[in-house]
Structure 1
Amino acid sequence: MTKFTKALKIQIVERYLTNKDGYKTLGKEFGVSHHQVRLWVLLYERWGETIFALSYTVHSQTFKLRVLKDMAENGMSLMDAALKYRISSPGMIANWRSTYEREGPEGLVAKPKGRAPMARRKKQEPKEMTEVEKLKERIEFLEMENAALKKLKALVQEEEARRTGSRPK
């Protein structure tokens, strides 16, 4: 779907209003359907230039239900509802209606678009050691300490033997 700039939409509408070129003529010239040109003209006449400045809008479930209810109660067309509620596309209302018919009111809840954010990793808190783990850790420490002391004793004996000139025991 081609996006048309605010300036181009205003240019098309003003050409329609001043020159009385028809919807079909303008549609062919600018590569847009005559229905879209008609909608732009009607929106412009009703709301002015500001209607084309609207950016992407997320409509609430309540708003969508209000539009659909108003259409049903008053026999409004999609175009009439779009004009009344300042919605730039009657097709959007048609989508709401078909979703409502398929899924009911819950289907009209706005769903987030795009990729879901990555979940943050939880920092692992040091877990409490069991009694057995504590004892194993203590044994490992004592074995290393014992090995270091044996090595130290061997080095001391070797040094002593060198000084006295005898063989180490």
Structure 2
Amino acid sequence: MAKYSLEFKFKVVREYLEGTLGYRLLARKYGIPSKSPIESWVQAYKAFGEDGLRRKRSKKVYSVQFKLDVLHFIKRTGASYQDTAIEFNMNNPSLIANWKRTFLKEGVEGLKPKSKGCPTMSKDKKAKPVKTEEKMSREEQLERENELLRLEIAYLKKLDAFQENPNAFLEKHKQQWHSNSKKKGSN
């Protein structure tokens, strides 16, 4: 259930538009913790009318290109989430904030739609073929060896950098370690 009903939002917006009180005083009058919801309701009402205050019942699926266009618009113009939502005929600015957070974290892959629910189980279990060293072609073996050597060199470079100046290395990688520890659920 929505935190505020459509009738309540409409009442507050009407009262603001009639000019009797400002955002802060309306928030205080109706016990709303901040003025921001009222500001966004007024903007949505001005842009879309009463439909701007309604909660959408059906979930619209947006294409990856549309999401990228919206994020590019924000980056190019510096517009707020609310202004961007109005520009692209959306009534949910927090959705854009989620897209931006996901894009910064996972890149374009994060914006692609994900399948919902558990994958279906097949009736017959097929054994996956395991590729062993013997079954790999000579070219695949060499590619594998090259990859392992690249990893070893990268590791040795980081080890050297750490040994030369441990404090600078730790500061540089502190943020990465902090975010990785949150993902694993450890403190």
Shorter-chain TM-score: what band?
0.5 to 0.7
Cα distance per residue 1:92-136 (max 9 Å; x no partner): 3222112111111110123355x548x4885xxxxxxxxxxxxxx
Instruction: Quickly say closer, same or farther: Cα 1:11–1:30, change in 2 above 3 A.
Output: farther
The count of aligned residue pairs is 121
Does residue 45 (structure 1) correspond to residue 43 (structure 2)? The answer is: no
Separation (CA, whole Å) in 1 of partners of 2:96 and 2:46: 20
Q: Residues 74 and 19 from structure 1, CA distance in 2 versus in 1: closer, same or farther, beyond 3 angstroms? A: closer
- Distance (Å, rounded) in 2 between the aligned partners of 1:38 and 1:94: 17
Alignment partner of 1:62 is 2:68: no
Take 1:86 and 1:36, find their aligned partners in 2: how far apart are those partners?
18
Which structure carries more relative contact order (alpha carbon 8 Å, separation 6+)?
1
| Partners of 1:112 and 1:33 in 2: CA distance | 37
In 2 relative to 1, CA 111–6 (structure 1 residues): closer, same or farther, beyond 3 Å? farther
1:15 aligns with 2:15: yes
User: How do 1:3-152 residues align onto structure 2 when only pairs under 5 Å count?
Assistant: 3-28=3-28, 29-56=30-57, 57-60=59-62, 61-112=64-115, 115-116=117-118, 119=120
Letter of the 2:60 counterpart: V
Per-residue deviation, 1:40: 0.5
Instruction: After TM superposition, give the deviation of residue 51 of structure 1 in Å.
Output: 1.5
- Secondary structure of 1:48 counterpart: helix
How far is 1:26 from its partner? 1.7
- The Cα shift of 1:80 comes to 1.6
Q: Give how far 1:83 is off.
A: 2.1
User: TM-score by structure 2 length?
Assistant: 0.54
- Mapped to 1, the partners of 2:113 and 2:25 lie a distance apart of 38
Q: Are the structure 2 counterparts of residues 25 and 76 from structure 1 closer, same or farther at C-alpha, using a change threshold of 3 Å?
A: same
The answer to whether the 8 Å contact 1:58/1:110 transfers is no
Consecutive unaligned residues of structure 1, counting only runs of 5 or more, are 123-169
> What CA distance in whole angstroms lies between the structure 1 residues aligned with 2:115 and 2:5?
26
- Is the contact between residue 78 and residue 93 of structure 1 (CA under 8 Å) also seen in structure 2? yes
Partner of 2:147: none
Q: Residues of 2 paired with 1:66 and 1:20: CA distance?
A: 39
Secondary structure in 2 matching 1:20: coil
Percent identity over paired residues: 32
User: How far apart are residue 54 of structure 1 and its match?
Assistant: 4.2
| CA RMSD of superposed structures (Å) | 2.7
User: Structure 2 counterpart of 1:65, which letter?
Assistant: L
